[in-house]
Amino acid sequence: MPSPLLTIQVSRVDAARAQLRLSGELDFDTAPDLIDAAAELRLDDYQELLIDLTGVVLCDSSGLSALVIIHRAGAGAIHLTGMNPQIQQLLDRTGLGELLAMAPPGATDDAREVG
């Protein structure tokens, strides 16, 4: 059952891409919900996942770990968008920015490709 602290809105963009729009706290209690939602989409053959972090007010190491797990479990890329300064700082300080943050072609400054 999803945590009330995190809302995950799923939109199917096209046959290969889906978007997960997050609102709330991405932490120890809620990270499994994100992993489960992404795994479900991968089972439905969505290769590319767009993860919109605009509504995330808190992200801890468990949230970052969830992004790494999703990255490693999928065959296609994930794109992070709407990263606030706190999330960007976490990626930079932990060194995950180099693993997870590759700007896709034509992306805006707040969009990152993972994979």
Q: Which two tokens stand for residue 92?
A: 């930079």
One digit per residue, pLDDT tens: the chain, 115 residues?
455 699 999 999 999 999 999 999 999 999 999 999 999 999 999 989 999 999 999 999 999 999 999 989 877 888 888 889 989 898 889 888 777 654 444 443 444 444 4
pLDDT computed for residue 99 by the predictor = 73
Which pLDDT does position 55 carry in this prediction?
95
Which are the contacts of 109, defined by CB distance < 8 A and separation ≥ 6? Answer: none
